[in-house]
Structure 1
Amino acid sequence: MYKNDPYILVLGASIVDIIGFSRRKYNSRDSIPGNIKISLGGVCRNIAENLARVNVNTSFISVLGGDDQGKNILNNSKEVGYNMEHSLILEDEYTPTYMAVLNEKGEMESAIVDMECLNKIDSNFIDSKSEIIRNAEYMVVDSDHPELLEHILKKYSKDTKFILDPVSASKASKIKHLVKYFHTIKPNRLEAEVLCGFKINNDEDIKRACDYFLEQGVTNVFISLDADGIYYKNNSEEGKIKTTGVSVKNVTGAGDSFVAGIGYGYLKKLSLIDTVKYAIAMSVITIMHEETINPNMSEEYVHEFMKDINWIES
């Protein structure tokens, strides 16, 4: 993979998702009738798969155990079409696992994550992958490992453009000093508050937060406002956009598919607003299905789906 064959590089966790879906009103400390599904997940793995599903040339660096679930993830990468040949395989370890319980509305009530083996990826391993990092058009990262991320950003920021999914507000707090290294950030409201250092209570605060990020050196900012849509801004365009009438079954992978939509827009050289719309469409397609990644996701499916979306812009 070189510059004449543009690709997006994703770095992060591959996780086995065990998701419980409530069939009636959720009550804590109670046994709730429902169903349980096991699937492949991890924020960055989900992003990589969604990118591949919409025909984006994608390479994914992760860490896997030598167990059956690790083999399942490798097989999935080959079937869907994202490249994991540069990943770290730990034959005597177990692949990371995520367990969550969703309420009757498809919203997460609680979750536990076992990601200990991810600590085996260090700066030496990363630097052994320097060629694939330097030749990527964009590199998608999260804030799971602040020290390692700082090493990557400081060493490779002149070679590729970084896209950040902060993952959580608590993790975002540990990397806010690194904001200036990112080309693109996609925080939700709480993560944006942590990164910019002040509360976001209204649209004026959102604009002020975006201006702060742009002043730090970020090129494109996308702030997720949940039901209120997405606020996006760069030095020439800004706005807030959402869609309505969405039937929600599982919100777990919505942010992951949105980031993949951003990557799609960048490699296809779409305008900022068209990139946002494509990313939102991918997100909506995701939450309308019980799986974390909608098995119908494809470039053609998204284009057809977008024909029937009613956009509300402000």
Structure 2
Amino acid sequence: MTEREYEILQLIMLNPMISQNEIADLLGISRSGVAAHIFNLTKKGYIEGRGYIIKDSDFISVIGGINIDIQGISNDPLIKNNSNPGTISYFLGGAGRNISLGLTKLEVANYFISVHGDDLNGEKFIQDSQKHGMNIQYVKQLPGERTSTYLYIDSPDGSRTVGIDDMKIYEHINPEFLREKIEIINSSRLCIIDTNLSKEAIDWLYTNCKVPIFVKTVSENKNYKLLSNLNAINTLVTTPAELNGIISELTEEDLSLIDSAKYLVSNGVENIIVFCPKNGLYFENATESYHLKSDKVTPVNNNGASASLCSAIIWAILKKMTWKDALKYAFSSAVLSIESQYSINEELSPQSLEQKKVSLFK
């Protein structure tokens, strides 16, 4: 690919419906020159069809949420029914968005499938995606809708006290919406979803998605959506609290974390990863189990760690690593997130991931 072809491909990835005249104006070249470059990109197999469908030999489908995260951290232990001095910060987040960004930083081609509103927060998402080179050609802007917002309050030690989400917009990620994307989903190596999706959407994907499905849970009160077909889940990434919520829906037994993971594996989930910053990472499948933990962590922000972990797991799987090695990179990616003020560490890359893994597991 020539440098000019690369520039044109980047513009198409950001806006697959961009016209040749618009590309010409942005790059200061003739429309006929743009047409020639697009012809060459098509001939070389980088794009195909109408709407400039980008082709990748190994790509991932990510279906999930885009949020504006509003984080409040108190300076001292919280006092109920009282004003608590602290810090309020605004971040772009959402499990799906964070996973897609993490994959992009790890140089894994991926298509992010989601929706956002035509408000200021939606524009912030578009601008941030362009800044980071994310492929958002399958993200739909919905007129008259508000972009999803997540408001939460953390104690000084980083533990989540309460959170409120305004995520009604995800009702638009329904079977009709997904049906339009199923060809690209089933052309990917695997599809990762988060539980911001409705039960109807998840059940539809269980039936119609033909590639391995990875699931990232997002909150205890949304886990019931997963239970209709555990056999459809290749890999489940969750937290101890969310795992406990899943188990309570399935059995009245009081199970430990380890027994809970074994229970899900015996009932159809192929692989399960349970992570929390305090207790580390626990992995279980039918033949292997691992527990990773490190004291070499300086927590700054717990939000986004599991999403960063998901990105690194997929990166490692594509590199055909063993689970033992893949989990070390996944844990390292989560730590990089925890040590950053952002959901996905701005410095995340294959190089920084390797360095963190060496420092944690030498």
TM-score, length basis structure 2: 0.79
Secondary structure at the residue paired with 1:260? helix
Q: In the alignment, what sits opposite 1:152?
A: 205
Distance apart, 1:163 and its partner CA: 0.4
Deviations 1:209-258 (A, max 9, x none): 33333333333221225522222122332221211131111111111111
Is there any run of 5+ residues in structure 2 with no aligned partner, and where?
1-52
Give the structure with higher Rg (CA). Answer: 2
Could you tell me which amino acid in structure 2 is paired with residue 155 of structure 1?
N
* Contact 2:237–2:272 under 8 Å retained in 1: yes
Q: In the alignment, what sits opposite 2:240?
A: 189
Q: In the alignment, what sits opposite 2:347?
A: 296
* Contact 1:141–1:163 under 8 Å retained in 2: yes
RMSD, matched Cα: 2.0
Distance apart, 1:126 and its partner CA: 0.5
Could you tell me which amino acid in structure 2 is paired with residue 249 of structure 1?
V
The number of residues matched between the two structures is 305
* Contact 1:105–1:249 under 8 Å retained in 2: no
> Do structure 1's residue 200 and structure 2's residue 250 form an aligned pair?
no
Indicate the percent of aligned positions where both proteins have the same amino acid.
27
Larger RCO (CA under 8 A, 6+ residues apart): 1
> What does 1:49-60 correspond to in 2, within 5 Å?
49-60=101-112
Could you tell me which amino acid in structure 2 is paired with residue 135 of structure 1?
S
Detail structure 1 runs of 4+ shifted over 4 Å in the superposition.
1-4
Q: In the alignment, what sits opposite 2:164?
A: 112
Q: Distance in 2 between matches of 1:228 and 1:107?
A: 13
Q: Distance in 2 between matches of 1:111 and 1:195?
A: 19
Q: Distance in 2 between matches of 1:190 and 1:62?
A: 26
* Contact 1:225–1:231 under 8 Å retained in 2: no
Change (3 A) 1:109 1:193: closer
Change (3 A) 1:211 1:5: same
Secondary structure at the residue paired with 1:239? strand
Change (3 A) 1:3 1:222: farther
Q: In the alignment, what sits opposite 1:11?
A: 63
Picking from 75, 80, 101, the partner of 2:132 is: 80
Distance apart, 1:125 and its partner CA: 1.0
Q: Distance in 2 between matches of 1:254 and 1:221?
A: 16
Change (3 A) 1:2 1:161: farther
* Contact 1:254–1:287 under 8 Å retained in 2: yes
Could you tell me which amino acid in structure 1 is paired with residue 254 of structure 2?
K
> What does 1:253-272 correspond to in 2, within 5 Å?
253-272=304-323
Q: In the alignment, what sits opposite 1:162?
A: 213
Q: Distance in 1 between matches of 2:276 and 2:156?
A: 22
Picking from 233, 249, 257, the partner of 2:300 is: 249
Change (3 A) 1:111 1:190: closer
Picking from 152, 176, 180, the partner of 1:124 is: 176
Secondary structure at the residue paired with 1:87? strand
Is there any run of 5+ residues in structure 1 with no aligned partner, and where?
none
Secondary structure at the residue paired with 2:206? helix
Picking from 217, 227, 236, the partner of 2:287 is: 236
